[in-house]
Structure 1
Amino acid sequence: MHKFFFKANDDVLSHCTCAAAEAPATSSSQLDCPWCGCGWLISCGTCGKAFTSAEVRETDVPLVEFGRREVAMRGLEHVSEAEIADWAEGMAEMLDNFEVGDTIAYLDGSYWQVDETGIHFDGYYASHRLDRLPHAEALQGPELLDRLLGDPKYWFERERADRGED
């Protein structure tokens, strides 16, 4: 058995209408406009639409197969089997940080347990110093998530000076 991320539910924000059991996550597809949702939502590997949180589940599907499916779904034509295998290896290492049943959220290049606190990190775009994930706070009111992370001002005020030098 393998571990992978699947849509947890339709709580908070969900544009994906797939059943949770049929909605594996894709890897990050963050662009240079994280406020649009690509910096804080997770995309469905079936329909391509976004949702807020994923659950770590066991699956019979090998990670390399999820990689192949994602390549096909995104219409990528020049990705080698070796690159897919590297992606699967990296995904397995990242998944080692989570237990089956954990509910996770994505923020600016990193996956976090939704209930995690004291989050301090430099993401792809911005430096974040959060007492609690906005995704968790939004369980009380979904508009909170979009109002904070959907606001370009949040990102511009925290933009890393060295962004793009990686």
Structure 2
Amino acid sequence: MSAKPGLFLKKANDDLVSHCKCSPSVWIAGPGQLDCPWCGCGWLFICPQCRRAFTFAVAEPCDLTWEELAWHDLKTRYSEPPTDEEVEMWIDCMKSVVGDLEEGKQYVYLDFYAIPVDAENFAFDGMFSQHKLLWVPQVQALAKPAIVDEILSNPDYWLDRRIDIDDEYDVPG
């Protein structure tokens, strides 16, 4: 059996966008990011139970192994049980997404990474675009909801910063 992640992300609340009505005790699913990240797939977490999106997650101690987390997510994603290869791919992917977490800290999802809600003046290359932000857009959108349309759900924001890739997605990490 594999190691435990130590800390992993759980749904924190229903703030901003939350189509998931599951309890806050649900762990996050692997990203379902498509080539249209402005639809929400590039800036929202996914619930592995109901497959719906939410904005904020919190880092908490996790008693499950990486394999158990993968199975919990993948069994609701596909009609067939996941293969060992799919489980390993999920684990590798999620280790890149969650990176270094701090217990009790809240995070948002942005273009393949869990970003701390208190991040300021940060830049990174995501799966789809390059980002250079003074603040976390999801957090600022709590006070100014127009930011969702101006940045997060704005195709121009994402496409103007798009990373050129050769006909296939390269997963960062």
Normalising by the residue count of structure 1, what TM-score does the alignment of the two structures yield?
0.87
Q: Which residue does the alignment assign to 1:26?
A: 29
Q: Is the Cα–Cα contact under 8 Å of residues 12 and 141 in structure 1 kept in the other structure?
A: no
Aligned residues: 165
**Mapping of 1:114-129 within 5 angstroms?**
114-129=117-132
Aligned-partner residue type, residue 117 of structure 1: E
> Shift of the alpha carbon at 1:37?
0.2
Q: Is the Cα–Cα contact under 8 Å of residues 70 and 87 in structure 2 kept in the other structure?
A: yes
Q: Is the Cα–Cα contact under 8 Å of residues 63 and 92 in structure 1 kept in the other structure?
A: no
Q: Deviations over 1:112-148 (max 9, x none)?
A: 1011112211111111111111012112133422442
Please, which runs of 5 or more residues in structure 1 have no aligned partner?
Answer: none
Q: Which of 154, 158, 161 matches 1:155?
A: 158
Aligned-partner residue type, residue 28 of structure 1: P
Q: Is the Cα–Cα contact under 8 Å of residues 34 and 41 in structure 2 kept in the other structure?
A: yes
Identity %: 36
Aligned-partner residue type, residue 116 of structure 1: A
| Range moving further from structure 2, 39-48 or 59-68 | 59-68
Q: Is the Cα–Cα contact under 8 Å of residues 9 and 28 in structure 2 kept in the other structure?
A: yes
> Shift of the alpha carbon at 1:163?
6.2
- SS where residue 100 of structure 1 aligns? coil
CA distance in 2, matches of 1:96, 1:32: 23
Provide the alpha-carbon RMSD of the alignment. Answer: 2.2
CA distance in 2, matches of 1:14, 1:159: 26
Aligned-partner residue type, residue 67 of structure 1: A
Q: Is the Cα–Cα contact under 8 Å of residues 38 and 158 in structure 2 kept in the other structure?
A: yes
Please, which runs of 5 or more residues in structure 2 have no aligned partner?
Answer: none
